[in-house]
Amino acid sequence: MTFSTLMQLASGLRTSIYIFVLTLLFAFPLGLLVALIRMSRNCLLRNAMRLYISVMRGTPLMLQLLIVYFGPYYLFGLSLKNYPAFLAVIIAFVLNYAAYFAEIYRGGIASIPIGQYEAATVLGYTKGQTFFKIILPQVIKRILPPITNEVITLVKDTSLAQVIAVLEMFTIAKQIANQQASMMPLIAAGVFYYVFNFVVAFTMERIEQKLNYYQ
């Protein structure tokens, strides 16, 4: 394994990290918004979010990537030259993971006893204050384990960006392995993924420990 090969893999890893970070940055708040709409009293909005979640969770992420990237061209005749593949990757990943996060949020919110809402009302809290100061911190503590699972899955799913020619780490590793007729680039990529996931899992565990006072 040469230094040049490691640098090429590191370049692909940087792209994978960008996909990972940007997906979480936008999917976390979007997932919360979708969850709140999914739990609203408005039947039309609630069912619209239910359909969105069903479609996102019921179809492959690879298919969603292809639709998000090629859809504007086939539906509206828009040129792909002005539509970066990386942007399509982020849009597809955010829409997909927001649906999963929404259901996790919804389960966490539903698990909070109704008495806490009533107590907050007696204390004079508004609905917004009740949610963000009392409910949400407890929800975050309760949903961290399933969120951690999804975040770890996201690390591995970044390899799917290859379907629209975004050169993330796994794609580069395959190209180098083909050129060198060697398994070492793929093994190195596996090590990178493992270390990446180890760091993610360790970080999430530390966050969970810091929230132990919500018991």
Number of folded domains in the chain? 1
In a domain, 17, yes or no: yes
* pLDDT of res. 215: 53
Domain interval for residue 105: 3-210
CATH code assigned at 69: 1.10.3720.10
Domain contains 76: yes
The pLDDT value given to residue 69: 92
In the chain, which stretches have pLDDT less than 70? 1, 3, 213-215
- Rounded CA gap, 190 and 194, in Å? 6
Residue 49: name the closest of 59, 37, 41 by CA: 37
d(CA 83, CA 69): 8
Instruction: Judge whether 151 lies within some domain.
Output: yes
d(CA 55, CA 46): 14
Q: Is residue 98 part of a domain?
A: yes
Percent of the chain with pLDDT over 90: 44
The confidence score (pLDDT) of residue 188 equals 83
Inter-residue contact 163 to 65 (CB < 8 Å): yes
Domain membership of residue 89 (yes or no) is: yes
